[in-house]
Structure 1
Amino acid sequence: MQSIEDIYNEMLSWDNLISYGYLDFQEYNDHGSLTMDDIYGHTDVIYPNYFDISEIAKLAFNFSYSTRNNNYQIANTTPILFTIPKNDKTRRPLKFPNLYSYCLLVSQLIAHKDRIINILS
């Protein structure tokens, strides 16, 4: 059995925070024969099949560690805004944090991971 520290270490990793923390993915295993296309537009989440963030996670990881700089300047960033069809007549707006800002947040979480784990344990 994994210790609580190991679980927190796994949760507070680049791969996990970028791949699973940026977008709110939702599983629909209990809907039987419904497919992602049947549910698309009826919820406020993006499905992994529609938006693959794995390549972005690799780029963010490489960017963070190759250009590490502790003198971050706080800058205003714009969220990612787009809409998806809700039905034939309306669209559902979705808003996500700016990926650059999110990567800076992840970088700070990783930098202070030991302190965070000590507080949570």
Structure 2
Amino acid sequence: GVGYQEVVKSEDWFLDHKYISDQVLLEESIQSYLMIPFDLSKDYKLRACLYDLGRDNYVLVCVFHHIASDGWSEGILVKEFTELYSAFQSGRVPVLPDLSLQYSDYAIWQR
């Protein structure tokens, strides 16, 4: 077919949530989660799972399809996520820089 860009609504996206009781099971579950293929015709290009280890211990795993993100963007994502989480934990408004462009702008330039 012909490639095209579609911005999908976020309302149907969900965070997977799993309870895990030990480290070996956690590592196996994460490996399995990372290996789930994306169906580009219907899946969001980001999926995430929050592993609940009990006693208020959690591991968040995020998987981006390479069509939606790149290595350069990874640092920005981690920095902004850390700021959002820190702001949430401390009850303050997050401080994020204004975006000078969107990923869709870059994709159009590449075309």
TM-score for the superposition, normalised by structure 2? 0.31
**The structure with more radius of gyration:** 1
User: In proportion to residue count, which structure has more strand?
Assistant: 2
Looking at both structures, which has the greater relative contact order when contacts are Cα pairs under 8 Å and sequence separation is at least 6?
1
TM-score for the superposition, normalised by structure 1? 0.29
User: In proportion to residue count, which structure has more helix?
Assistant: 1
